[in-house]
A and B are shown apart, each in its own frame.
Chain A
Amino acid sequence: MRVLLVDDEKELVATLAERLEMRGIDATWVTDYRAALAAVEKEAFDIALLDVRMPEMNGLELKRLIEVRRPTMKFIFLTGHGSEEDFKACSAESGRDYYLIKPLQIEVLMAKLNEIAHA
């Protein structure tokens, strides 16, 4: 399973990627939308983990751009805020309840990834 992690917090995204690698997931991480778009251009990922709140372009807008290039890709949103609008927007955008609240528990993330992979 190939996963793209996008979050403006490098420390977070890099560590998370390393932990996923340890669990046998091919994880690539980037910290802004340009790098993210470049990555999806280069490779086909199964799932993208997008932070909702990022500078320049938020996760929801980024998802729409990525979808143009990779229509079959699945998305999980990460939110630090946990507000109702974020939940609603994420649900609407991902089609299902694919959003997680930071700080996240790795077991929950793994369960979500497996669920999407086998969906």
Chain B
Amino acid sequence: MHEGLKRFKPGFLDHHDQSSGMYKSLFNFRLLWKQSIATTLAVVLLPLLTLAVVDYNISKEAMESELLLRTSRLVSNTRRTLTSYFDERKFALNFVTLDNTYDQLLDEQRLKQLLENLKSGLGVWFDLGVIDHTGIQRNYAGPYPLQGMDYSGQDWYQKLSYSDTDSYHETISMRSNISDVFLGFRNTPHIVISVLHSNPYGLDWLHYVLRASLDIDRLNNILSQMEVSGNGDAFLINHQGIIQTPSRFYGDILKKFPLDVPPVSDRTQVVEGHDRQGRAILIGYAYITGTPFILMVIKQKDNLMETWEVAGVKLLLFLAGSVLAIVAVVVGICTYLVNSIYQADQKRLASLHQVEYANKMASIGRLSAGVAHEINNPLAIINEKAGLIKDLFTFRQEYASDHRLLGLVDSIIGSVDRCATITRQLLNFARNIQLNVQKLSLKRVVDDVLEFQTKEAGYRSIAIDVDIPPEIPEFFSDRGKLQQVFINLVNNAFAAMQDGGRLAIASRLSSDGTHLITTVSDTGSGIPAENIKKIFEPFFTTKSGSGGTGLGLSITYGLVKEIGGSIDIESVVGKGTTFIITLPLEYHADKGETHARTVG
């Protein structure tokens, strides 16, 4: 991980609990972290995502059904228009058969007059013909020489003449037929409407058919005027799937419609399907009754859903943004909370360790005092007995010249003296001393202590630097104990250094200005990491055979605690050691360590 990022990495992620028992962490922090993130995210995101999905589906369905409904309405309106268009023309022809006798219709002038009347009333009619019961065209008004044409073999004529009812017939009383669109002689798309005039007496030879051909322009107009949204297309096909009016996308007139012909239905239908390119389309269709036509309205679904999809994408982006923000906030908060718990737990463990250490020191103090006291009396006896032996030798002159014997006795007395020094220090360590708190200048205290040491420092060429800035205020503490602390630390530093070392004492205020931080550094041999933990324990010494009792630093520790301070150590083997003493500027009686007082 990048160095800069490491600073933001919470401590618990790298935490490996190696302790056990009472010093074990209460929680598995990584698991706690993962669980809290997972639970919170699940609780927050599941409902949000569910709502989003449900809402997406509902709005999509609503949009689609709205599209279907609109298409359906368009198709059925157009169907009505087309139906009435065809009906108007059929009824007009029927009116002609009812208003004229067969003989009148066979009159060439009369038929021309009727064609003109129809043209002026109902748009473009090409021609008008009268066909007798044998299928021969008896009279014809129009641009082509079709007089005498035989239609008897044609499909539409047979259907009209011989069948009673079929899907083309609207009523029994009016048999009519509307043809598919075809080019015919004129080579323009047109349709033919035929109406059968039935003889009221049932005489076949009096039946005749009035036949008219019509331009499909009007039909095209009706369809092209429709406003079909979604890149839509509206046109007619016949029952065989031949395109009858121009289409924008599905082929030319009289070509085969590329898709399947929709199934027969009495009502307007809208179905979904796919075009030949595989795009989704909506197909609205209606069979136009009495004609061979099917009205087709085809819309591109993608095109229709486009606006909805744009809005959908925006909402999706918003959802993704929200989810990201939620994840970031949840991870942030969980990390912060778990880290807070972790730090509190670490503090708890540190306090437990401190309490244990203080108890240990107190127990050792009690034990030391007891041992010292018990040993002191026998020591005094040894001292006196050895002294008596020496007295006997010297006063009675018997062995006064035996220096070896006297040397042995002196050695005993010397050893007793060493033991006595140890027991005295032990008792010092454990004894109960009243605090004498007064206003002090740190500089004065340090100077007093160094006054005793300058001689030794001079002999050993040890440089002493004191950096106590004048702005360090006077503070409240116990002069004697503080002096003792500095004496011990300075002695310790001297013992650790070779000749020519450097001792530095520096002081500064803590960042909140309530404590005084003083460092005593030497350029001595340093303390290995495994010894640092034990450095304040009584009898811990590395000065083997040189008279160290191992009590100096433990007494120092006790003294600093008694005056309400704390002492820390930093050491690099081969470089030197720094003791850091933190003292309160104001002494509060309740903050001083009391364990040393209770063990005396």
A residues at B contact (CB < 8 Å): 9, 11-12, 15-16, 18-19, 22, 80-85, 101-104, 106
Contacts and interface: CB of A to CB of B under 8 A. Distances in A.
B432 A84 contact: yes
Nearest to A107: B387
Given A80-B380, A84-B431, A22 B424 contact: no
Contacts of A83: 427, 431-432, 600
Interface of B: 373, 376-377, 379-385, 387-388, 391-392, 395, 416-417, 420, 424, 427-428, 431-434, 600
A22 B391 contact: yes
B434 A22 contact: no
A22 B395 contact: yes
Contact of B376 (A15, A16, A80): A80
Contacts of A16: 384
Contacts of A81: 373, 376, 427
A84 B434 contact: yes
B391 A84 contact: no
B381 A9 contact: yes
B380 A12 contact: yes
B373 A12 contact: no
Nearest to B428: A82
17 contacts: A11-B385, A12-B381, A15-B381, A15-B385, A22-B391, A81-B427, A82-B428, A83-B427, A83-B600, A84-B434, A101-B424, A102-B376, A102-B379, A102-B380, A102-B383, A103-B383, A103-B416
B427 A15 contact: no
B386 to A, nearest CB: 10
Nearest to B416: A103
Nearest to B379: A103
B335 to A, nearest CB: 54
A19 B377 contact: no
A16 B382 CA distance: 11
B380 A103 contact: yes
Could you say which of A81, A84, A103, A104 has the most chain B C-beta atoms within 10 Å of its C-beta? A103
Given A19-B388, A103-B384, A82 B377 contact: no
Across the A-B interface, give the 7 residue pairs with the lowest CB-CB distance, nearest first.
A103-B383, A103-B380, A15-B384, A102-B380, A80-B376, A11-B381, A12-B381
Given A103-B383, A103-B384, A82 B391 contact: no
B384 A12 contact: yes
Contacts of B373: 80-81
Nearest to B424: A82
Nearest to A14: B384
A15 B388 contact: yes
A9 B376 CA distance: 12
A94 to B, nearest CB: 20
Contacts of A85: 432
A22 B394 CA distance: 10
A31 to B, nearest CB: 13
A106 B387 contact: yes
A84 B481 CA distance: 14
Contacts of B434: 84
A82 B427 contact: yes
A27 B427 CA distance: 31
A115 B421 CA distance: 25
B24 to A, nearest CB: 41
Given A18-B391, A80-B373, 14 more contacts: A15-B381, A15-B385, A15-B388, A18-B388, A19-B384, A80-B376, A82-B428, A83-B432, A84-B434, A101-B420, A102-B376, A103-B380, A103-B417, A106-B387
A37 B284 CA distance: 136
B436 to A, nearest CB: 11
A112 to B, nearest CB: 16
A27 to B, nearest CB: 12
B431 A9 contact: no
A50 to B, nearest CB: 15
A27 B417 CA distance: 25
Nearest to A83: B431
A18 to B, nearest CB: 6
B427 A104 contact: no
B387 A9 contact: no
Contacts of B431: 82-84
A12 B600 contact: no
B391 A19 contact: yes
Contacts of A84: 431-434
Contacts of A18: 388, 391
A5 B302 CA distance: 121
Contacts of A9: 377, 380-381
Contacts of A22: 391-392, 395
A11 B383 CA distance: 11
Given A15-B385, A19-B391, A22-B391, A80 B377 contact: yes
A19 B380 contact: no
A16 B420 CA distance: 17
A10 to B, nearest CB: 10
B549 to A, nearest CB: 15
Nearest to A88: B434
Nearest to A85: B432
Contacts of A82: 424, 427-428, 431
A19 B387 contact: yes
A85 B376 CA distance: 18
A82 B421 CA distance: 11
A102 B387 contact: no
A18 B384 CA distance: 10
B389 to A, nearest CB: 10
Nearest to B419: A103
Contacts of B380: 9, 12, 80, 102-104
A73 B161 CA distance: 170
A15 B380 CA distance: 10
A85 B434 CA distance: 10
A82 B428 CA distance: 8
Contacts of A12: 377, 380-381, 384
Contacts of A11: 381, 384-385
Nearest to A80: B376
A103 B423 CA distance: 10
Interface centre among A9, A12, A80, A106 (most CB of B within 10 A): A80
